[in-house]
Structure 1
Amino acid sequence: MKKLLTLKHWQLFCLLIVLPFILQLIHWSIAIVTMDMKWFFLLFPLVTLLCMAVYLGWIYTLGTQLVKKLPPGVRMNVGVFKILLAIPAVYITSIAVMIGFLPEMPALASDEDAMKAIQLILPLHLFSMFCMFYSIYFNAKALRSAELKRKVSFSDFTGEFFLFWFFPVGIWLLQPRINKLFEAAPERETGPILYRED
């Protein structure tokens, strides 16, 4: 997974944007040409899980490796980062699998059943979004701290936060900086991975 941190920006863009686009194009084309939606429900989970694995793999690898580049005295809680990043992974996997089995599921009996389903999914969806925002916040802060070699405040890494959020554009600006960090001198020894944020 560390290889993701040394990929050039265009290579990462191809993995995170171009490849998913091509897979979605093939996926929809098969469903339209065959006029059989079973292909949509069969391929959707596979395409979604592959795209999610690459994106979350990049976010995870970056977060767990950047903490090793932090200057002495700067601590960040990588354990919380890992837990909160796992939540969207489980949520997206569950939704993708549910969509895959949708043709086999009985239709919702009433509007009341539909509302119950929404009431269940909506809080999970919002919490998953919060977890993703925390993950990009963590990476933006860690990246800027590693670059500046000091503790940073949100105003120091606001730009990086939005670049991670809008990653199709952000990749072109962030990845060269990430390359530079991980092609530089060896990371400092930090001992056990028990980081706490001051």
Structure 2
Amino acid sequence: MRFFLHLRPWPLFTLTFILPFGVMMASSMALILRPLQPTAFILIYSCVMLLLMGSLFGWLWTLGTYLARRLPAGTVAPVRWLHAALVLPGAYILLILGALATVVSTTAPAVQSAWALFIVPLHLLSMAGILYSLQYVARALRSVELQRPAQFSEFVGEFFLLWFYPVGIWFIQPRINRLFAHQPATLGP
């Protein structure tokens, strides 16, 4: 996944935003013009979510992993915390997509309320993992640029650029390209 370090902003934007959005728009238009079976709609939705989250989480995973390698030990938390923070929402999304068909087909109120009790804590935990990963990557990026541990006030801008990634990609990725310009994309992990 090292190729994320060398992508220009427009291919990264296309991969993480335009392609999933385009597939979702096309499936929505197909649903309007010709109603799909719920199974087909869930399959299309699942593919879009996997593409969107896989590319976005893959980008964050790669950035955090390679930026942490450019810092002295102890500057940021161990990269395994970032990996756990990204695996958590990834597993949550897979669980939701797998269970979506079951919940949609079951209309019993008892099942739906039990599902709500189960999903709310998992959703909050997943959100915490995503926010932690954004904070981790923002801190690591700014710390690499400063060559010292960055304080929150120094990387808050990067945090919000990562959070609003369709805009942030255009500002963050050129900085990543400059940091890793001298390293070929084909060299080891």
Q: TM-score, normalised to structure 2's length? A: 0.89
Q: Which residue of 1 aligns with 2:75?
A: 74
SS of the counterpart of 2:69? helix
After TM superposition, the structure 1 = structure 2 runs for residues 130-149 of structure 1, keeping only pairs within 5 Å, are: 130-149=128-147
User: What residue identity is the alignment partner of 1:178?
Assistant: I
Please say if 1:54 is aligned against 2:50: no
Matched residue SS, 1:56? helix
What code does the residue aligned with 1:152 have?
A
Runs of 4+ in 1 over 6 A off after TM superposition: none
Q: Name the residue aligned to 1:64.
A: 65
In structure 2, what is the Cα distance between the partners aligned to 1:43 and 1:163? Answer: 29
Question: Does the CA contact (< 8 Å) of 1:13 and 1:171 recur in 2?
Answer: yes
Unaligned 5+ segments in structure 1 are: 187-198
Tell me the distance in 2 between the aligned counterparts of 1:47 and 1:8: 22
Tell me which amino acid in the other structure corresponds to 1:125: H
CA distance in 2, matches of 1:73, 1:79: 13
* Equivalence for 1:195: none
Q: How far 1:97 sits from its partner (Å)?
A: 2.2
State how far apart, in whole Å, the 1-side matches of 2:128 and 2:74 are: 27
Distance (Å, rounded) in 1 between the aligned partners of 2:42 and 2:103: 7
Map 1:139-178 → 2, pairs under 5 A: 139-178=137-176
| Aligned-pair CA distance for 1:85 | 1.0
Structure 2: how far apart are the matches of 1:98 and 1:165? 27
Identity of aligned residues (%): 40
User: Within 2, Cα distance between the matches of 1:74 and 1:42?
Assistant: 42
TM normalised by structure 1 equals 0.85
1:13 equivalenced with 2:18 (yes/no): no
Aligned residues: 183
Distance 1:99 1:49 in 2: 14
Query: Contact 2:76–2:139 (CA<8 Å) still a contact in 1?
Result: no
- Looking at structure 1, the residues matched to 123 and 73 of structure 2 have their Cα atoms a distance apart, in angstroms, of 37
Separation in 2, partners of 1:100, 1:121: 15
Aligned Cα root-mean-square deviation (Å): 1.9
